Amino acid sequence: MAELNFSNLSKQFDGVPALQDINAQIASGEFVALLGPSGCGKTTLLRLTAGFEQPSAGTIDLGGQTVAGERQFVPPEDREIGIVFQSYALWPHKSVAANVAYPLEVRRVPRAERQNRVSEALTLTGLSDFADRMPSQLSGGQRQRVALARCLVFDPRAVLLDEPLANLDLALRASMHDVFSMFHRRTKATMLYVTHDQGEALALADRVAVMQAGKIRQFAAPETLYREPVDCFVAGFVGDGAVVPVRRTGRVDGHQPVVNVFGQDVRARSATTEPSHVSIRPESITLRDDAAIRGRVISCTYLGGRFRLSLDTAGETLVAFATRRAAIGETVGIHLDDLWAFHDPDSNSLMAKSLAYA
């Protein structure tokens, strides 16, 4: 497996920027997800990595080798990169085993070695009993595993996955999460996974790059994105909850700044002394009758074991969890704790886009 680096990478189509100065380092064996709304540039970044497009500027290094850059371009077939497409891209006239063997045939691997490697790949992906079946005889999840086995069989330096679960129903997508996690653990492959589904990204990846308008807004572990977003776009796009402007008080309590939210002074975690907004997650809200902040219930949804409440609070919509059903129009007390405060100089434009994508 190999380290993957992007340095000042940009791509334009007919003068319109699709990617702008992408800088990121992906460690060997790391599972990274590219997350963002349609048109943010994540698929363009994947295609540049695969070699299907050439960058307008910047470089791509794979395993210490520059595969794309000024006056240098390694064609896709020589990058030793495996690709899993959304549409599976299986040969309909070839059996499962023949589909998996195809990359080895192209590389003229001897027959005996080819059979051994195909057998190992089928065993790893749980397809040994389906070796002689045709793709039309398989379920969607089984076809996706054939595509994974075909990737695995030639020992690629990196694996690229382009929304591989988009064509599956919700139940099958959930079960395939375990398949992808198992695949990564066993192969220790460097993986770059494109998705617009934040649930997939947060569940599967070691780190997630949140993209917007051709740029990476934040590149961090899933828990960091959720608990400590850097700006309004990331806070609004990743996870449930609300992004609310605050008034600075200048006070500090236990090394944490005190901000004024909905007219109440609240202590918040922060990496800045001049926060402009707070991210309010459902876990930050406790419903208490004696709380000074009040919210009106505008929706109540049963999630199994708890209820999800949407609360109109001074014109902002907060999300909270409750153990009992609440009536629409009911007023409840809101106690805020463990908020994350941040400074976003571009809050007006980014917040509007964030809400549009949420």
| 101 and 66 part of one domain | yes
| 161 and 270 part of one domain | no
Q: What is the CATH number of the domain that holds 10?
A: 3.40.50.300
- With a cut of 60, say whether residue 355 has pLDDT above it: no
| 309 and 175 part of one domain | no
The reported pTM is 0.84
| 122 and 182 part of one domain | yes
| 249 and 279 part of one domain | yes
Under the banding of pLDDT at 50, 70 and 90, the label for residue 127 is: confident
pLDDT at 347: 62
Residue that finishes a domain, picked among 201, 227, 253: 227
| 155 and 299 part of one domain | no
Domain span at residue 97 reads 4-227
Q: What is the CATH number of the domain that holds 317?
A: 2.40.50.140
- With a cut of 90, say whether residue 234 has pLDDT above it: yes
| 56 and 159 part of one domain | yes
| 122 and 236 part of one domain | no
Residue that finishes a domain, picked among 196, 212, 227: 227
Please compute the mean of the pLDDT values over residues 67-85 and round it to a whole number.
89
The tokens for 316 are 């902002």
| 221 and 237 part of one domain | no
Residue that finishes a domain, picked among 227, 258, 286: 227
| 102 and 250 part of one domain | no
Q: What is the mean pLDDT of the chain?
A: 88
| 250 and 353 part of one domain | yes
SS3 of the chain: the string is CCCEEEEEEEEEECCEEEEEEEEEEECCCCEEEEECCCCCCHHHHHHHHHCCCCCCEEEEEECCEEEEECCEECCHHHCCEEEECCCCCCCCCCCHHHHHHHHHHHCCCCHHHHHHHHHHHHHHCCCHHHCCCCHHHCCHHHHHHHHHHHHHCCCCCEEEEECCCCCCCHHHHHHHHHHHHHHHHHHCCCEEEEECCHHHHHHHCCEEEEEECCEEEEEECHHHHHHCCCCHHHHHHCCCCEEEECEEEEEEECCEEEEEECCEEEEEEECCCCCCEEEECHHHEEECCCCCEEEEEEEEEECCCCEEEEEEECCEEEEEEECCCCCCCCEEEEEECCEEEECCCCHHHHHHHHHHHC
| 179 and 286 part of one domain | no
pLDDT at 143: 86
242 vs 4: CA distance, rounded Å = 34
Number of domains in the chain: 2
Under the banding of pLDDT at 50, 70 and 90, the label for residue 349 is: very low
Under the banding of pLDDT at 50, 70 and 90, the label for residue 180 is: confident
Tens of pLDDT, residues 244-270: 999 877 777 777 888 999 999 998 998
